[in-house]
Structure 1
Amino acid sequence: MTVNKRAKGETEVSFRKDLIVYILGGMLAWGLIGWGVDYLFQLSWIRFLGVVIGGVGGFYLAVMHRNERAQGRDAGPRT
């Protein structure tokens, strides 16, 4: 396997890992925010909306992060 194929494979694995982390993190954070709003205003549907917004937002952030990394605008080295 050449260096370019190996780097591309590692990038795809890194993107998949980032995608999962961003989506789950967004769902958890916005789900908790939705749960808090539900507790305050007694709107039981709002917690589910928070989870959906978190998942969509996490996906968006992961894709944007991947695009910036592909363009060479990464803030620093990956560890």
Structure 2
Amino acid sequence: MWAITQPRSQPATVFHYAISRNQDVPLMLLNCNNTAIVVDGYHGYQKACATYCMTKLGGVAYARRKFKSAR
């Protein structure tokens, strides 16, 4: 499930369901107007981040797992 938010003068959120996590999905949904993406550690998002110069932000669950494994 993808949730794409545009926090501008007219904020909107679009939800998109995709069966796969293939790298083609974010390439189809995103563009150069997107500046950041919140993702887990899955490498399939890297192509979209590189293509559109987006910053990858880790999700809360991903950060929690990192802290827990660091013990």
Instruction: Tell me if both proteins adopt one fold, taking TM over 0.5 as the criterion.
Output: no
TM-score (norm 1): 0.24
Larger Rg: 1
TM-score (norm 2): 0.25
Structure with greater helix share of residues: 1
Structure number with greater CO (CA < 8 Å, separation at least 6) is 1
